[in-house]
Amino acid sequence: MTENLTRDSDLTTVATYRRTIGASAERVWENVLDWEHLPWLHSGSFSDIVCNGAGEWGWRAQVRYPGGDHQSNIELLTERSADRYVTRVLDGPGAGGEVWTSVKGVDARKTDVVVEFCARVPEGVEPDSMGAGYVALYQGLWDEDERMMQQRQLALDKLAAKPVSTTGAKASTELIELGTRADLRAKLPLRVEALGQQVQVVELDGDFIVHSLVCPHSLGPLGDAPIVDGEVTCPWHGYRFDVRTGRSCDGRRLRLNAGVRLEVDPQTDVVRLHVAAETATKASR
């Protein structure tokens, strides 16, 4: 990681934004290094990103903005010993600007952040007006980031609280009757939670399909993601999965939880959901 970061003395501090985030410092730093989420979680501010390098030191990437051909190269550098990081715009809109953010954990579920916006103020432009635009933008970005961090923490907490058998091993399977095919069809889409896992039953081309509602990449929520051409896309990072097979549609070595399946009793027409806990993955970045 980067140490001894220095500010450009030619820049003017046009605004300072302070906020207490409802997430731990661990979640905040995880989010800081997560360049992939920008065009997905923040689709109103970014339309695409191409990373040119990343690590604990930060990342560098080319970003595109919605509604035009505008793009910038930006870098984010961390200085963890000082609990801060800087985001610099290297070219394109806002070139030369720096955003300095300090991160201080308050407790296991709260973190204070202080964001300073430093820019070259064009002649005839009021610094306060320029700063107000930065604050409005970052307030929206932090709103979206905070929701993601809180949802991820809840998902991690749920994983940690999965049922445990008396022998100390995770409970292995659960069998749930969903009714006859006619009964089930009337309730679709149907969400079910078993052994700490959230799954959804849908019908595709006359077949009943069950798939996990949690992305295996970083536990992103798939519950509100539409199924298009048999695929579901995570709203946090854009990872796509085939809901029939659970396989990644992006060539990644990830898949939706394979421990869920449906079976239909040929005599009673009753549909049963099988959930196997031992195949669950503990996703992390």
Per-residue H/E/C for 17-39: EEEEECCCHHHHHHHHCCHHHHH
Residue 5 lies in a domain: no
DSSP state of 96: T
CB crowding 44-57: b at 16 or more within 10 Å, else e = ebbbebeeeeeeeb
For helices 127-160 and 25-32, the axis angle rounded to 10 degrees is 120
Interatomic CA distance for residues 81 and 64, integer angstroms: 31
Statement to judge: residues 191 and 148 lie in one domain: no
Statement to judge: residues 177 and 272 lie in one domain: yes
**pLDDT band at 37, cuts 50/70/90?**
very high
- 78-112 tens-digit pLDDT: 999 999 999 999 999 989 999 999 999 999 999 99
Interatomic CA distance for residues 42 and 221, integer angstroms: 16
How many structural domains are present in the chain? 2
Range of the domain at 272: 173-279
Look at residue 279 in the predicted model and tell me its pLDDT.
45
Whether the Cβ atoms of residue 120 and residue 10 lie closer than 8 Å to each other: yes
- Point out the least confidently predicted range of 152-161, 172-181, 270-279: 270-279
Residue 2 lies in a domain: no
For residue 237, the domain's CATH number is 2.102.10.10
Look at residue 58 in the predicted model and tell me its pLDDT.
98
- 4-19 tens-digit pLDDT: 799 999 999 999 999 9
Look at residue 195 in the predicted model and tell me its pLDDT.
80
Statement to judge: residues 131 and 204 lie in one domain: no
Look at residue 201 in the predicted model and tell me its pLDDT.
95
The first and second tokens of residue 169, run together, are: 């091993």
Look at residue 282 in the predicted model and tell me its pLDDT.
43
Residue 3 lies in a domain: no
- Coil, strand, or helix at residue 265? coil
Residue 167 lies in a domain: no
Residue 63 lies in a domain: yes
Q: Is 170 exposed, middle or buried (0-12, 13-18, 19+ CB in 10 A)?
A: middle
Domain boundary residue, one of 111, 133, 160: 160
**Average per-residue pLDDT for the chain:** 91
Whether the Cβ atoms of residue 156 and residue 285 lie closer than 8 Å to each other: no
Look at residue 270 in the predicted model and tell me its pLDDT.
96
Tell me the residue type at 138.
Answer: Y
Statement to judge: residues 49 and 122 lie in one domain: yes
pTM over 0.85: yes
pLDDT at residue 65 tops 70: yes
Interatomic CA distance for residues 221 and 35, integer angstroms: 18
For residue 54, the domain's CATH number is 3.30.530.20
Statement to judge: residues 68 and 20 lie in one domain: yes
Within 13 Å and on the Cβ side, how many CA atoms surround 172?
Answer: 3
Mean pLDDT of 263-281: 81
Mean pLDDT of 196-201: 89
- Point out the least confidently predicted range of 29-33, 97-101, 174-178, 276-280: 276-280
Whether the Cβ atoms of residue 157 and residue 27 lie closer than 8 Å to each other: no
pLDDT at residue 284 tops 50: no
**pLDDT band at 68, cuts 50/70/90?**
confident
DSSP 185-232: HTT-SEEEEETTEEEEEEEETTEEEEEESB-TTT--B-TTPPEETTEE
CA angle 37, 41, 44 (to 5 degrees): 120
Interatomic CA distance for residues 51 and 206, integer angstroms: 41
- 158-173 tens-digit pLDDT: 888 876 554 555 557 8
Residue 212 lies in a domain: yes
Statement to judge: residues 114 and 218 lie in one domain: no
Statement to judge: residues 26 and 140 lie in one domain: yes
- For residue 5, the surrounding DSSP H or E stretch is none
Mean pLDDT of 72-83: 97
